[in-house]
Amino acid sequence: MLSNRYPATGGGVVSLENIAISFLISCLASIAAYYVCKWLDGDK
């Protein structure tokens, strides 16, 4: 697997749980950015 590729995480194997959490956070950030842009654009 991916050993010693991410030394900040202890150099261990990247788990599926970490990938899923990162994916979920990126999806939530994308949704939040969409609504912030929509709010800043106003009623068009």
Domain ranges of the chain: 7-41
Q: How confident is the model at residue 10 (pLDDT cuts 50, 70, 90)?
A: low
Alpha helices, DSSP H, located in the chain: 16-41
Give the whole-angstrom CA distance, residue 10 versus residue 28: 27
18-28, pLDDT tens digit by residue? 999 999 999 99
Model pTM score? 0.59
Beta-carbon contacts of residue 1 (< 8 Å; ≥ 6 apart): 13, 14
